[in-house]
Every structure is written in structure tokens, then in C-alpha cells.
Amino acid sequence: MAGEDRAASEGREFYKQILDNASEGIYFVDRDRRITYWNRGAERISGYAASEVVGMRCADNVLMHVNAAGERLCGLDTCPAARSMRGNEPCELELYLHHKDGHRVPVVTRVTPIAEPGGEVVGAVEVFNDNTVQVEARQRLEELEREALLDELTGLGNRRHAEIHIEARIDQLKRYSWPFGLLYFDIDRFKDVNDAYGHAVGDRVLRMVARTAQGSVRTFDQVSRWGGEEFVAIVENVREPQLGKIAEKLRRLIEQSSLTGDGLNIAVTVSVGATPGKPDDSVESLVERADHLMYLSKQAGRNRLTLS
């Protein structure tokens, strides 16, 4: 018996090493959706160490999944793991998890129920991958660093980077009629955050908003820090209805992001102005129009979108 126990233990350790070294995030939950195992891939993608999450549920201020509309997915009727276990069927979907640093990360998640030999479901395994195109992002950052177009705090392009790309999109619109739009968004009451928590926390909020914004648009769209707490997003190949949907998705995902831990629980919102580019636009006229629309959102109560 001792030999069999040792062999079984060695077998479990062997498979644990395989799971720990997988590039995907992998974790197990029991019937109550409590996390029982958390691999290194999950640590890398989410920022949470296994010691911080094992024994907790995703809804316990850990991953707090939301969909593209910013709706929470941690209820019994909306949780992918609960639904998979209840129907004893695997499921796959795209969603956004809450990173330990506060921002939202787009992931593709696959949930498979775990059943005992008799057929009773006792838990589930979730496998998730970062859905951002990391190689393209690294190449983009390297290019920005080479050309001194990088905002060091947020990792986004800076104002000059945005101006170059806006000018290029206007030129394409004039030459080929390729439509695009501009989002101009500003963090609501950001001064209150700095006054209450200090500039170091304010910088973390700026990074959280920047990363969530970058993850909320498509891989070929450009998000840049315009200055202070103001950002712009250049949204390619869209007309007004789709531009509004992308802008609203960005607003909702930022609203659902938060800085937690270390005694903090900080959530912020943004006011957004969105406008399609016009063939007779200059960089200045387009940005001024989007900026004006953003201020209309502020005047209307903040945390909203104005599209025109």
C-alpha cells in the first residue's frame, strides 16, 4: 500500500508540474465555485498568486468577470462555471477579468465540468488565454520607444503619437474614403482621487484606465494618452453606429474596473466624446470637436457618451 500511495503521489506531482508550466491560465473550482487549484499561467495573466486566491471564489473581489457590456457574470444564473456544472456541458466565451492591478483583461475562457465515475458533477476546470495580441503590442511599444512616442507612465502612445495617427487616418479618408472615428475621454473627478489618495495612487488609476481602454478596443485601433487624465482612441474602419457601440463598451468596462487591495477600493468613470472623421478635418478640428462632445458628457452628469 505504501508503494501505491507513493506512486499516486508522484503521479499527482507529475501532472501538477505539467499544469503549472502551461502557458494558459488554468484553475479548478468545486461545486461552490471555490478555487481549489491555480496555476502559474493564471498568476501571470491575472496578477494574483495562488496563495491569494485558493479557497476563494471568483466573485470574492478576485476575477469578477464581466462581458463586453460591462455586466457582472458572477451570479448563479450568469456565472460560466455554474452554468457549465449545472448543465454538465463545456462552454467557451469571451469575457473580461479583473487584473490585480485594477484593469480589465480580455480573455477567452473554456469551462469543462468535472464528474466522478458515477456521473455526479463535483467541480469544473477553467482554462483561459489572454485575448490581446501580445506580439503586436510588444512590437508597437518597441516602435514607440524608438521614435520617442511612448507615454512612460501608461505604456500608451503619447500626444505626438496620436497626432501622427490621426493625420494618417484623415489622409486615408480623403484618398480612399476609409472611415474612422475619434474618441476623446477624460477621467471624471480625477483631482479628487489625487487629493484623497496621493499622486502615486493617482498614477495607478491612470494605468488602470489606460490598460482597460486598450483592452476594450480592437487590436488595430490606437489608444493614446493625450495629456493629464485625458485620452484619445483612434477607431478605424467604422461609421457612426459602430463607433458609438465601441465607445460605450470602453466606458462600461472602465466603470467596472477598480483598484483593490492594500486598503483601497477605488473605481472611476470616464466621460466620452465620439465623432466620425470628416474629409475636410484637420487634426486640430477633429480633436476640438471630440473634446467639445466630451465636455457635453461632463455637463450632462459625467460617466456618459456624447456622439455626433
Q: Which residues are annotated as catalytic?
A: 229
- The rounded distance, in Å, linking the Cα atoms of 48 and 53 is 7
Q: What are the helix (H) ranges across 47-118?
A: 50-53, 80-87
Residue 6 has, within 13 A of its CA and on its CB side, a CA count of: 3
Q: What is the DSSP letter of 32?
A: T
Residue with cell 500626444: 159
Q: Which phi and psi (to 5°) does residue 275 adopt?
A: -150, 140
Instruction: Give CA separation, 117 vs 28, 89, 98, 204, in Å.
Output: 18, 16, 35, 48
Asked whether 210 and 157 are in contact (CB, 8 A), the reply is no
